[in-house]
Structure 1
Amino acid sequence: MTPRPPIPPVPARRPWSLRTQIAVVFGSLVSVVALLLSLAFGELLKLRAQHEAAAALHMVGHNAAKVMAEELFERSRLVQVLASSQDLWDKGLGAQDLLPLLQRMHTSRPYSRWIGVADVHGIVQTDSNHMFSGQDVSAAPWFQAGIKDPYVGDVHELPALAERIAPSPSGEAQRFLDFAAPIERNGETVGVLGLHLSWDWARDTLEGLRPTYADHAQIELFVFNREGRMIYAPGGRIAPFVALDQRLPETEPPPALGRDSLTVPGLAGLAHWADAQPQFLTAVTRLPARNLASDLGWYVVVRQPTATAFAGADSIVSRALAGGLVAALLSALIASLAARRLSEDLNSLSRAALHIEAGTPGAVVPLTHSTREVQRLSSTLGHMTRRLLEMNEAMEEVVRQRTLELRYANQELERLASSDPLTGLLNRRGFDARLAQALALAQRSSLPMSVITIDVDHFKQVNDTHGHEIGDQVLRSLAQQLRSRLRASDVVARLGGEEFIVLLPETTLAQAQQLAEELVRAVRDQPQDPVGSVTVSAGLSALRPGDADACAMLRRSDEALYAAKTAGRNRALAQP
């Protein structure tokens, strides 16, 4: 038998040199530490950026819902106050004196399209633009509800009114909101006061509340009703959403925020919309109810594409990982040059890296001195850690600056919402806030307080004869005269149109009468070019000890103003 040839020996694998082993192990360790730190910082900053984006979107929706709720309440309250004013209805629902008042309300209240009075049988006795005089509106929901209690009706179409007025600038069919309240005289209901408000109010209100950066950030505002159906879409684009049966969206937290974020107030969430496949960052805010009548159960919904909302957050992670990768490569290169360092230095650096990864307070990379290579490596690792910390601090500063900008924007929005753009005085909303403060002080300290309601006489003739620009000039001049003759503690506001109001804390009715007469004389004695002499009428009243709020005082002041107008204008009358 032929012997088998011997099997050649397998060559032994050549082990790595100590320098190579140290370079590979240490380089890998440094790379992992750098990437872990970069990823940890990047995810933390991404989380913060997403929180800020969600909170900012919620703030936009919250502000819009608050303003819309305030305006619904104000219009409901106006109709209720007029309907409960006994002196207005003493001469009957069809009295000649009512028509100028309704017409003035119609022209001075933005978006009012019809104001009228119907008797208990539903027959319109007087209306502001003579559209439905003598017609039977007893079947109308606003009449049936308004004959019993104050009523605010949800948005709806009204063809009989829409065909008689100009179409909506958005191109949509005209829709309206109804406001109504029972007219009572001597404890008996004698009719209903009704107001039809154009739905263009919602469009202009929401467009005015959109942030200046909304177009760039692709932020859109919507309104849904109590049943979850869309009743407003930006740009008149509601038809496609209705066709897709878009309902009130249900939100879920963004992935980076986690399920627990649902309990964090002020955050928006992710939601699917019928008109697009990608999810949107969505904030849903219910309109706060000011009273039962104006609580329509609406929701203001703000949405923003996630690609836009989280663009900064995603780029933060990318930059952090890129920085960590660069630092890791640099550290690995330095580690390969420091392969002959002593084992003690390797152990100390390894322990330091583990402490940094674990987030141990005060953990730093030690500066060793055994060799130049070890010293260079430890210095680089320390620099890398400081760089990542500086990046974190810089990003926190960016987040802080954006938070401040948002706060300043909200403050400016609050200022604009409380002031009249024509005269610079307070508007109704701003005046109500100051009135509440002054009333609380007067009641707590038992101090007197008075109010003067001022209306420019024959102001419509000024506009018709000289144009609205001259009319605006007259209003600004009157506002300047009021400011110059009042104390710093007095409050002056423009309620709308040519009507102003002055709140006088710590002022008796007699003192207010003297001041009102001086104001009437001062306005009369200062001609307005090219109008000539302009006169005003003033009605004033004071807070009575039994007044629980300021409504009665304001109503008496309005009644006194009406009496001054009836008595021939250019005078100031008081209602004790």
Structure 2
Amino acid sequence: MNSQGSPHGSRSGVTGFLLNRRLSLVVAAASFVTVLLLALGVAAFVDSYLKEKNGQSLAELAFHMSQTLDNGVYERFGDLLQISHRLDFRSLQQNPQKLRAYLEQQQRFFPEYAWLGFVRPDGTVLAGTGGMLERKNISAREWVQAGKQNPYAGDVHEAMLLSALLPQPQDGEPLRLIDLALPIYDDQNRLLGVMGAHLSWQWAKDIRKNLLSHNLDGREIEILILNSKGSVLLGSSGGASNGMDLSKLLSFRQAREFKVGSVSEQWPDGNRYTSGYARGKGRPDFNGLNWIVLARQSDAIVHQETSAIMQKAVLLGLLIGLLAGAGCWFSVSRALEPLQQIEEALARLDQDAATLPETLPTTRRDALAGFARKLYSRLIDMYGREHQLLAEREELRAELTQHFDTKAHLAELRRSLELRVLERTADLQDTNRLLEQQLEQAAATLLSCRQYLQDHPDSTGLQAQIRKNLELLRTPPADTAVQGSQTATEPSVREKL
């Protein structure tokens, strides 16, 4: 059947992929996009998780550092307390050399001590390691005054009296110390003096170095120690954070309230860091140092680490997506072979429909093949029904055309008949008028003859003939009586006769 007889033209013009290839492409593309979106979601989740995990790690590091500092100072107080219990300070006051020897022995056991000494109530140093400050009055020192009342732990400060007596740090920084003091009483609870110790600030640096060596894992992390006012006590290794006022940082304000956590924030140097924060709480019998520890890492470094992982996740997702897409392409193409056969049959319907088999030529027995066979049979039936309907339509069109032609012919005959009737009527009227004129002439002649007969009564034969003619004139012929064209008020020629 040509394209003029088909309502939707030739099916052989179907372009592009066959049905199964188009569906395969759609499924493969959907699989690829789904896997890619899943990979992007996983990458975003991993990025968020790593940032959160990094923040938790920094918070734990800050908390561990603060606890280690508090525990270290608390243990040093325990050392001083043990020394006070072991020694008879009343008797040793008469033998300061023996007291110095014992203190130097303790210093060898605990090298964190830069100096150990015993100070009399009047502020005079009775004995000190290395003989330093002995017989000098240091009553003006804060730790001496506070140590007469309660155990005392002070902030780190630069060495003053001992700066010239102790070796300087190898990193070039000034010597800094932490003051510890413990009052010593006799059996009558009378003050015998103050046991003092100066912890080297190198002790805190060693703690930080040890923690970073176990937790750094190749990452650039810095640990800073601040006092309760926000001043840096122990800054970054390069000294970039020294002298900064960090009291406005959110991490500092949170830690000052004894909270532990992490936050991403901008520091005074203009860079953004993820900061873990913590503050030591001390012990029930020790208030602690009240130092605040911040462990920070640049967000740029964190971003580099997470970006590398995200890139690997995305690349892996692309690879999996391509493999999934190829697998779906092959699987769907194989599954939709019966539909391909249907499409090929549709393309052949307008060229060689007679050669198409009545059933779909497939040996598969799966559900899709069964559906395809039913669909193929329905399409063949529909195509046959379509051609039958097209044939019936052509027959109906021919009948309608013939009907309209007959109707037009009848109309033409009607118009022709009407014209003939009109022409015949006109001819009859003309004939009638002519007869009327002839009758009038004949009537006039007869009337003249009648008058003549009245005037000549002896013409009996002629009179009879005239009467006969008058009777004939009074009787209308059958073919002229139909006109009736004369009005009631006009007397006819016969009436005159």
TM-score, length-normalised on structure 2? 0.56
Match of 1:461 in 2: none
> What SS class does the counterpart of residue 64 from structure 1 fall into?
helix
Match of 1:162 in 2: 163
1:343–1:307 Cα change, 3 Å: farther
1:498-517 per-position Cα deviation (integer Å, ceiling 9, x unaligned): xxxxxxxxxxxxxxxxxxxx
Distance apart, 1:141 and its partner CA: 0.4
Match of 2:200 in 1: 198
> What SS class does the counterpart of residue 320 from structure 1 fall into?
helix
1:266–1:247 Cα change, 3 Å: closer
Does the Cα contact within 8 Å between 2:58 and 2:295 map onto a contact in 1? yes
Does the Cα contact within 8 Å between 1:289 and 1:295 map onto a contact in 2? yes
Q: Distance in 2 between matches of 1:369 and 1:226?
A: 77
Does the Cα contact within 8 Å between 2:148 and 2:182 map onto a contact in 1? yes
Match of 2:291 in 1: 298
Does the Cα contact within 8 Å between 1:151 and 1:181 map onto a contact in 2? yes
More strand, by proportion: 1
1:318 paired to 2:338: no
Match of 1:184 in 2: 185
Distance apart, 1:23 and its partner CA: 5.2
1:344–1:56 Cα change, 3 Å: farther
Match of 1:152 in 2: 153
Match of 1:42 in 2: 43
Does the Cα contact within 8 Å between 1:73 and 1:294 map onto a contact in 2? no
Match of 1:455 in 2: none
Give unpaired runs (5+ residues) of structure 1: 1-12, 253-264, 346-367, 375-576
1:6-59 per-position Cα deviation (integer Å, ceiling 9, x unaligned): xxxxxxx99877737645643443333222322233333444434443333333
1:221–1:250 Cα change, 3 Å: same
Distance apart, 1:328 and its partner CA: 3.8
Match of 2:110 in 1: 109
> What SS class does the counterpart of residue 66 from structure 1 fall into?
helix
Distance apart, 1:96 and its partner CA: 4.4
> What SS class does the counterpart of residue 223 from structure 2 fall into?
strand
1:244–1:98 Cα change, 3 Å: closer
Q: Distance in 2 between matches of 1:167 and 1:26?
A: 74
Distance apart, 1:269 and its partner CA: 3.3
Does the Cα contact within 8 Å between 1:224 and 1:248 map onto a contact in 2? no
Q: Distance in 2 between matches of 1:215 and 1:320?
A: 22
1:274 paired to 2:268: yes
Match of 1:456 in 2: none
Distance apart, 1:312 and its partner CA: 4.7
1:298-355 per-position Cα deviation (integer Å, ceiling 9, x unaligned): 123222233444545433332333333344445556666756965999xxxxxxxxxx
> What SS class does the counterpart of residue 205 from structure 1 fall into?
helix
More helix, by proportion: 2
Match of 1:231 in 2: 233
1:70-123 per-position Cα deviation (integer Å, ceiling 9, x unaligned): 210011122234345572324537644322222323333213222222222212
Q: Distance in 1 between matches of 2:337 and 2:251?
A: 56
Does the Cα contact within 8 Å between 1:230 and 1:248 map onto a contact in 2? no
Match of 1:121 in 2: 122
1:371-403 per-position Cα deviation (integer Å, ceiling 9, x unaligned): 8xx9xxxxxxxxxxxxxxxxxxxxxxxxxxxxx
1:310–1:53 Cα change, 3 Å: farther
Match of 1:207 in 2: 209
RMSD: 3.6
Q: Distance in 1 between matches of 2:338 and 2:146?
A: 88
Q: Distance in 1 between matches of 2:248 and 2:68?
A: 20
Give unpaired runs (5+ residues) of structure 2: 1-12, 253-258, 340-365, 373-497
Match of 1:250 in 2: 250
Distance apart, 1:272 and its partner CA: 2.6
Distance apart, 1:171 and its partner CA: 0.8
1:309–1:211 Cα change, 3 Å: farther
Match of 2:429 in 1: none
1:319–1:127 Cα change, 3 Å: closer
The amino acid across from 1:232 in the alignment is L
Match of 2:32 in 1: 31
Match of 1:544 in 2: none
Q: Distance in 2 between matches of 1:179 and 1:303?
A: 29
The amino acid across from 2:311 in the alignment is S
Does the Cα contact within 8 Å between 1:151 and 1:294 map onto a contact in 2? no
Does the Cα contact within 8 Å between 1:93 and 1:118 map onto a contact in 2? no
Does the Cα contact within 8 Å between 2:117 and 2:196 map onto a contact in 1? yes
**Which stretch of the first structure deviates more once superposed, 333-342 or 147-156?**
333-342
1:285 paired to 2:286: no
Match of 2:71 in 1: 70
> What SS class does the counterpart of residue 250 from structure 2 fall into?
coil
Match of 1:141 in 2: 142
Percentage of identical aligned residues:
24
The amino acid across from 1:217 in the alignment is R
1:370–1:169 Cα change, 3 Å: same
The amino acid across from 1:173 in the alignment is P
The amino acid across from 1:245 in the alignment is D
Does the Cα contact within 8 Å between 1:51 and 1:267 map onto a contact in 2? no
> What SS class does the counterpart of residue 223 from structure 1 fall into?
strand
1:107-144 per-position Cα deviation (integer Å, ceiling 9, x unaligned): 33213222222222212222222332222212110011
The amino acid across from 1:40 in the alignment is G
The amino acid across from 1:140 in the alignment is R
The amino acid across from 2:42 in the alignment is F
Match of 1:426 in 2: none
Q: Distance in 2 between matches of 1:141 and 1:78?
A: 21
How many pairs align?
323
Distance apart, 1:275 and its partner CA: 3.8
> What SS class does the counterpart of residue 162 from structure 1 fall into?
coil
The amino acid across from 1:273 in the alignment is W
